[in-house]
Each structure stands twice: as structure tokens, then as C-alpha cells.
Structure 1
Amino acid sequence: MSELTARLREGLPADAVLTDPDVTLSYARDMADFCASGTPAAVVLPGSVEEVQHVMRTATALRVPVVPQGARTGLSGAANAGDGCIVLSLLRMNRILEINPVDRTAVVEPGVVNAVLTRAVNEHGLHYPPDPSSWEECTIGGNIGTAAGGLCCVKYGVTAEYVLGLDVVLADGRLMSTGRSTAKGVAGYDMTRLFVGSEGSLGVVVRAVLALRPRPPRQLALAAEFPSAAAAGDAVCRIMESGHVPSLMELMDRTTLRAVNALTRMGLPESTEALLLVAFDTHDPAADLAAVGELCGSAGASEVVPAETQAESEMLLQARRSVHYALEALPGTTMIDDVCVPRSKLAEMLEGTAAISEKYGLTIGVCAHAGDGNTHPTVCFDPDDEDETRRAYEAFDAIMALGLDLGGTITGEHGVGVLKKEWLARELGPVGLEMQRGVKQLFDPLGLLNPGKLF
């Protein structure tokens, strides 16, 4: 390891190579509980493309695995270190290089925080739509690595739809550019999309060209209470079938509502079985909310409360953004699922999850990006209870199996990482898995980039 450290320091500032075990341990894992992690040999914090290239050339020469990292807010173990690896943290590469209001693009380094970019482009009358719940912490590089989604995907889409081009340092240290800066472009294979969602297994993103949109009007929201999560799912189907295009449509069940109240003291209704939040950022959101309120009523809503001000709307959105932290604060620990199903199957997914909760005798809180069918069932259990832990894993697997049976996918936005490796093979099938492994072999023949993730 002394040779590794010495060679890394030949091309990096002294404070950019960390080897103190107490320090490197803090970089060992992301926010996914119960995903294996190891002890890194070193953590490096490059500040330039050239320094990233030096790290990868050193790693290749010494055959040392490299785990790229952003802010470690991921929920699948994709950023977890392995024993003896180099953790390549990109947090210091955090510059917004350009904002172009005419082309409606931004050029950024991977360590730029999502919320920082959003606020910066807002000053130019523009908007960067992808908004994961961790948007105040997560980085654009991490968003690209996991193909992150967010609360407003129902109208504006996910990260992949906003990445126009990339600069990527490959495993051997070469620099590759993909994509374009233009509004259109179909030259060759779409290599940019290949890297989006690759979880750092094909290369290290060091620069991104992102598409922007005009900044929309401020949104107004409503909250609708339902006697069951399935009834809320039915309301979602009615809203989408009627042609409405909400900017946000989120669901929280009773378990989740109670957890959020305990954490935030917001006073959300705990007597209801499910709360559906719907928002519009149109020029007449009140009219849209009124129409959606009627649809919620026809689906069985016991109460529909439109927000009267933007402050009230923001409070509802903040409640939804706090769900992960609220469920984490419950006694015991959690495993967060990330199953996305067709919207038409959302009610079946919610009913099936409730049945799984009852079968295994466990508390399973459900929140969802209901507008695009992306559910986040969270299995709560006592990790010190061997039988309860076993049932938690079985329930987690049963939820993923249910999602696949309904024509869905095992991950809508969190990624595969360590948590869902076995299930990726089931979803892709043997031929699909063989082709994906072939792509990995082409880009990373020595298997140094984020080994042990995906498959």
C-alpha cells in the first residue's frame, strides 16, 4: 500500500490523498443499510480531469480497484468501498463551468450539488428539473451514475433525459467525450445514455453538458386523504387517464405519515390510510387542482384540501422530501425498495405490498412517486432479532418479485449496486446479462471500476 500511496501523491496534492483509517472509514459506504462494504486503502479527492486520469493510470498500473463516489446519498450500496480499493471522491470537482440561456444548457463538473445547480440556473430564468429527495446533498455525478429521478419526474422526466454529453475518464486513464452540446444529434451510438445509470462501472464522469428548461411558474398543490393506498392508486390512474399533466404526484401511507409527523411535527393527518399530493405549475393551477380534486373524490377520497398559498404547497413538498429520514428514525432499521410498475398497475402493487406486510408480520411504510408508478416500500425491522431480519429480507424479495410480475422493474431510480445484484439477473435474463457483461468487459477489461456492483 505504501507504493500505491506514493504513486498517487506523485500527481495529486498532499491533502488529496487520505490514508488515515479513521478518515477513510467515513467514505466506506452510502446510505443503504445492510449492504456489504470494505476498508479502502486510500481515499483520493482530485480537483481536475488530469488528476482523475492520474488516479486511473495508477490504479491500472498497480491493478487496484477504484470506487467512484459522489455525496454517498445513494440507497443501493453502489458507492460502497471494497477492501484495498481506491475511493475516488469527486466532491472537489464542484464547479459550474457555463450556463448558456440561449442554448439552454449548463456545463458542470460531477461534484456540483443538485440544489446548487438548480438555484444557479434559476437566476437565468431557467430550470434543471431532476430533483431527487436528497437534492440539497446529492451531486450531479451521482445523479448521472444512478440515473436518478425525483419528485417532478411525472411531468419533466428523469436525469437521462437531460444529459446531452459527457467527458469520461476510462479505466486506463484515457479521456473520452460523448454526445453533444446541440439540441439534436444522432451521430453514432448513443454512448452518453450508456454511461447514465452505469453506477461508475464503465468510467468516471468528469464533465457533463445538461439540458435546461425555462423556469416554470411556482406550483400549487393539494392533499387528498384516502381510506386505502389502493384507492389513492386508483385516483392516480383516473388523473392520468383524464389527460392532466401534474408537476408532481406523490403518495404517503399511514405508516409514513406518522413517521413524518414524529420527525417534523407538521401535523399531517394520521387517521387516513394514504395521502396523495398533487401539484401543478401551470398558469392556472387552481383550476387544475379543482378538476383533480373531483377525480380524487370519485375515487373515494374522504377529504381534499387544496393549498391556498405557495408556502402551504412547499410545506407539503417538504413533508414528502423528509420521508427517508423520518422512516430511518423509527426504532430498528430499514430496507428501502425501489420498484417501479406501469401506472395502470399501481393499485395492484400497493395492495400486494400490504398483503406482504401482513404475511411477514412486519411494518412496511410506503411512499411513491405515484405519477410514474415508482414505489418505495420501506421494510422496518429489528436487526438484532434473527427471525425478524430473515422475514425482512424475504419481504423485500417478495416486493421485487411482485413488481416484476406486474410488468415492472426492480429499480426505478436508486440503481442496482450491491442490494439488487441477484434481481438484476432475473430481470434481464441470460442473454441480456451476457450483453451487459460484454459492455463492461470492453470498457473495463481488468474489472477495476466499481467491482462487485450490478452483476
Structure 2
Amino acid sequence: MSNIADELKTILEPGKLAMDDLTLAAYAVDQAPVLDYQLPLAVVRAETVADVQAVVSACAKHGVPIVARGAGTGVSGGAHASQGCIVLSLERMNRILDLNPDDETAVVEPGVINADLNDAAAVHGLMYAPDPASFRMSTIGGNVATNAGGLRCAKYGVTRDSVLALDVVLADGSLIHTGHQTFKGVAGYDLTGLFVGSEGTLGIVVGATVRLKYLPREVHTIAAFYPDFRSAAAGVLAVGKARVQPAIMELLDGGSLHQLDEIHGSDLSSRGASLLLIQTDGFGAAAEAEVVREVLAAGGATVTTEASAEAEQLVELRRNSRGVEVDDEYRVGEDVAVPRSRLVDYIGELEAMAVAHGVQLKVVAHAGDGNLHPTFWVDRLDNQVDADAMQRLGEALDRSITVALAMGGTITGEHGIGQYKLRWLGLEQPEPVRELQRRIKHLFDPAGILNPGKAI
């Protein structure tokens, strides 16, 4: 510890290295449940690419692990400190280096906040499409690390679909550039796509060239209230059969509506037991919205034509629908995805398993791409939970995973594996595939210092 600390003090300017207990604790975890709490040896707040290269080179020389961190909004433990690590914060690298409205691209540092990039692009009638619920806080670097999704995924895809090129510091401190400035390009292997979603295990992203989309001139929001959750899920399939492509298709169950009412003073739960929120955009938004309203009404929904102010409020409420709780061992938010054709079946299974295992459940979903976020929890009395309740919670979580996989789904749609979901990775990926991934990891990081114990 003294060797790496002394070297970091030598190579970094004052104010970039912190070793006090308060800072170490603040940077030790992200927003995921903590399985193994560790304090880092130190926290480095890098401000330049040269800072990152110097820190990585020093850590490589001393064999010290590095955990790269953005805003700490991840919910799978990808930014949890590893034993004896340096946490390398990129939050101060927050400049938009270039925004070219003619090329419809932007070049950004990893600490740029998602919402800030959108604000800058909007001046030119453009937007950065990926919009995770944490878009007002999360960084582009963190979004790249987890291949983050968001509400607009249904139409515009996930982060990988918007990343054209990356600047990456490798495990030996060297800097490479991958990808291209053009929308198309197939020269060589797609290393850019490999780094996106690799959770900081292959290299540290210090710059990204991203594609921008046109900011829609017109947006229509449809709120459809249903008497039960499964009927709302059926509405998603009905819209697909009508061959309409909404920008947003979000699904909230009764528990989520009640919680939103308690937090925000809304009256959503009095209007139905489930809400399907659909947004169309572009020059054809009105025509598409009219088709959606007809389809949903025919399926038994109470369909409202919202004023724009309420429409925006509904979207914002959905962005905050995970509530104010932070996940821990007693309350776990999941991130599974199933084929859209199995959405109704999976929701039915979730409701049944909650009853069978005696646990609480609420569900929100990016229904347009079959990505669900069920939250299971058990109540605590005087901050105590009996062992039986914890066992039932674990069994419900295990069941939610195995059922999703049996339906052709995945254990994570957009949050990543991190530390928390490693226990289930072997259920989805057979050993030959996992061994190939380990070999790729070894090629990029032979000493295993980049975010060890995460992702694979």
C-alpha cells in the first residue's frame, strides 16, 4: 500500500488523490446490494487522459487492482471496490469535446452526464438516444461500461447502437482508439462493440464518439389503465401486431402505481391496477398515437388523451418508478428480459412466485423490448429479518432467473452482471463460452488488475 500510495502522490497533482476514511467509504460501493464490503486503498479523481494512463501504469507495476467509476449509479455492483484496489473516478473528465450537427456526432469524455449531452445536442435539434432512468446523474462512460438502455430503447436501441468509436486505456497504461467517425464501418474486428458492456474489465474508456439522432418535432403520449397487469402486457403485443413502433412502451403494475402516488401525490392507482405508457414521436406521431389508442381501447383499456404537461409528468414519474429505496440484501431489483411474446406468461409467473414464496413484489418494465425490473423484498421489523424470510427471498430471486431463462430470456437486459449477478451467469452461458470470455479477458488484462471479480 505504501509503495503505490507514494507513487500516486508523486505523479498526481494535489487534490486528485484522496485517502481519508470519508472519501474511501463514499466511493466503496455503487447502488447495488453489497455482498462483500471493501474499502479501496485510495480514490483517484482523474482529470485528464494522462492522469488515467499514469495511474494504470503505476497500478500495473505494483499489481494493484483498479475499479473505474463514473457516477456510481449502477445497480449490479460493477463499481464496488475490490480488495486492495484503487478506485479511479472519471467524474471530473466531463467535457464535451466536439459536437458536429452536420455529422450528427459528438465526442465526449467519460464523465459527461447523459442529460448534459442531451441539453447540448438539443440546441441543434438533436438528441443522444439512450436514456437510462438515471440519465440526470449517470455518465456516458458508465453507460458505455454497462451498455445501458432506457425508456427510448424500444425505438432507438441501447448504448451500443449509438457508440461509433472509443478511446481506451489498456491494462498496461497504453492508449488505443477503436471504431470510426462514420455511421458505417466494418474494418477488422468490432473492438468498440466488445468494450461496450465490458464493465471496465478490458480497458478504461476515456473518450467516446457517439451518434446523435434527430430530436422529434412532435411527441404524443398515451396512458392506458388496465384492471390487471397481464392485460396491460397483452396490450404491448397488440400494438406490435398493429405494426406501430413507439419510442417508449413502459409498463407499471399496481404496486408501482401505489408507491408513485405515495411519493409524488399523484392519483394513478385510482385510475387502474396497471398502467401502460406509450409515446410516439416524429412527424407521424399523431397518426401512430391514434392507432395505438384504438388498439388499446379494443383490448379493454381505459385510454386517456393526455395534455402535454401531464404526459411529461407521467414519463418523469416512470423514470422514478424504482422508488426511493436503495437495494440491499432484503430488497433486490432485478433486470431480466424475455422475448416479447412471453411477456404475459412471465408476468404471470412473477405474480405466482411472489405468492408461493411469501415475498413482496412490484414490477416496472421496458415493455417494448421485453425488459422487466421486478423488485422482490421482505419486510423488516426493528431492522431485523428472520432467516426463513431471507431464504424465501433468495428462492424467489432464483426462480425469477430460471423461469426467464426457460422462456429464452436473459439474466440482465441492461444493468450488467457486476458483482451481484455472477452467481447466475453460469445458468445462461455454458462453460465453453465462459472460458472463451476468460481468455479474452486474459488477452487484454493478463495480470487481472481491471475490475477483478466482476462481469465474467
Is 213-222 or 54-63 further displaced after alignment? 213-222
Please state how far the C-alpha of 1:2 moved relative to its aligned partner. 2.2
Match of 1:313?
A: 311
Q: Paired residue for 2:391?
A: 390
Q: What's 1:304 paired with?
A: 303
Q: Who is 1:216 aligned against?
A: 216
What CA distance in whole angstroms lies between the structure 2 residues aligned with 1:264 and 1:437? Answer: 46
Alignment map for 1:272-421 (pairs within 5 Å): 272-301=272-301, 303-308=302-307, 310-326=308-324, 328=325, 333-382=330-379, 384-385=384-385, 386-421=387-422
Q: Judge conservation of contact 1:130–1:149 (CA < 8 Å) in 2.
A: yes
Q: How does 1:16-27 map to 2 (within 5 A)?
A: 16-27=16-27
Aligned-pair CA distance for 1:396: 1.1
Partner deviation per Cα, 1:135-169 (whole Å, 9 max, x = no partner): 00000000000000000110111000010000100
Name which of structure 1's ranges 60-69 and 218-227 shifts more when overlaid on structure 2: 218-227
Taking the aligned partners of 1:382 and 1:313, their CA distance within structure 2 comes to: 34
| Equivalent position of 1:446 in the other structure | 447
Q: Distance in 1 between matches of 2:99 and 2:330?
A: 42
TM-aligned CA distance change 1:4 to 1:150, over 3 Å: same
Task: After superposition, give the CA deviation of every residue in 1:89-145 in whole Å (9 maximum; x if it has no partner).
Answer: 000100000001111110000000000000001111111100000000000000000
Confirm or deny that 1:264 pairs with 2:264: yes
Alpha-carbon offset, residue 218 of structure 1: 4.0
Decide whether the 8 Å contact of 2:106 with 2:209 is kept in 1. Answer: yes
Code of the residue aligned with 2:361 in structure 1: it is I
**Are 1:331 and 1:382, in contact at CA under 8 Å, matched by a contact in 2?**
no
1:20-99 equivalences in 2 (<5 Å): 20-99=20-99
Taking the aligned partners of 2:346 and 2:90, their CA distance within structure 1 comes to 37
Q: CA deviation at 1:329?
A: 7.7
| 1:232 partnered with 2:232 | yes
Moved more, 131-140 or 2-11: 2-11
Is structure 2 residue 203 aligned with structure 1 residue 203?
yes
SS in 1 for 2:54: helix
334-343 vs 267-276, greater mean Cα deviation:
267-276
Aligned partner letter, 1:72: G
1:425 partner amino acid: G
SS at match of 1:379: strand
Query: Closer, same or farther in 2 for the Cα pair 1:414/1:331, shift >3 Å?
Result: closer
Relative to structure 1, the CA distance from residue 332 to residue 200 in structure 2 (aligned partners, 3 Å threshold; closer, same or farther) is closer
What is the Cα deviation at residue 298 of structure 1? 2.6
Distance 1:34 1:397 in 2: 18
Q: Offset at 1:391?
A: 1.3
Aligned mates of 2:263, 2:92 — CA distance in 1: 32
Distance 1:202 1:6 in 2: 26
Q: Which residue in 2 is equivalent to 1:112? A: 112
CA contact (8 A) 2:31 2:327 kept: no
Equivalent residues of 1:380, 1:392 under 8 A apart: yes
| Inter-partner Cα distance in structure 2 for 1:69 and 1:312 | 36
Q: Contact (CA 8 Å) 1:36, 1:418: kept in 2 or not?
A: no
State the Cα RMSD in Å.
1.6
Partner Cα distance (1:134, 1:111) in 2: 14
SS for the counterpart of 2:141 is: helix
- Answer whether contact 1:36 1:77 (CA < 8 A) is retained: no
Separation of aligned partners in 2, 1:35 and 1:237 = 38
Residue identity in the other structure for 1:401? T
Asked if 2 retains the 8 angstrom alpha-carbon contact of 1:254 and 1:271, the reply is no
Query: Offset of 1:267 from its aligned partner?
Result: 1.8
Q: Counterpart in 2 of 1:425?
A: 426
Structure 1 length normalisation: TM-score? 0.97
Unaligned runs of 5+ in 2: none
Change (3 A) 1:271 1:387: farther
Cα displacement (A) at 1:270: 4.1
Q: Distance in 2 between matches of 1:330 and 1:261?
A: 20
Letter in structure 1 aligned against 2:349: G
**Greater shift after overlay, 38-47 or 388-397?**
388-397
The structural deviation recorded for 1:422 is: 2.1
Q: Distance in 1 between matches of 2:345 and 2:297?
A: 20
Report the Cα offset of residue 332 of structure 1: 9.7
The residue type equivalent to 1:304 in the other structure is V
For the 8 Å contact 2:30–2:75, the answer to whether it is kept is yes
Q: What residue is the counterpart of 1:129 in the other structure?
A: 129
Q: Does 1:12 align with 2:12?
A: yes
How many aligned positions are there? Answer: 452
Q: Deviations over 1:303-327 (max 9, x none)?
A: 111212x21111000110111234x
Aligned to 1:194: 194
Classify 1:182/1:330 alpha carbon distance in 2 versus 1 (closer, same or farther; 3 Å).
closer
Q: Kindly provide the amino acid, as one letter, of the partner of residue 352 in structure 1.
A: E
Q: Find the aligned partners of 1:313 and 1:330 in 2 and give their Cα distance.
A: 29
SS state at 1:323 partner:
coil
Q: CA deviation at 1:300?
A: 2.7
For structure 1, the residue ranges without an aligned partner over 5 or more in a row are none
Partner secondary structure for residue 362 of structure 2: strand
8 Å CA contact retained: 1:219, 1:313: no
Q: Residue 69 of structure 2 contacts residue 79 of structure 2 at CA under 8 Å; is this kept in 1? A: yes
Cα distance, 1:36 vs. partner?
2.8
Matched with 2:2 is 2
For the pair 1:169 / 2:169, whether they are aligned, the reply is yes
The Cα of 1:392 is off from its aligned counterpart by 1.2
SS at match of 1:10: helix
- CA distance in 2 between partners of 1:199 and 1:214 (Å): 29
Q: Give the distance between the partners of 1:251 and 1:396, measured in 2 at CA.
A: 20
Q: Percent identity?
A: 44
Taking structure 1 as reference, are residues 434 and 122 closer, same or farther at Cα in structure 2, changes over 3 Å only? same
Equivalent-residue separation in structure 1 for 2:268 and 2:241 (angstroms): 28
Distance (whole Å) between structure 2 residues aligned to residue 182 and residue 434 of structure 1: 34
Deviations 1:179-198 (A, max 9, x none): 01112211100000000000
Distance 1:36 1:241, change over 3 A: farther
Amino acid at match of 1:305: T
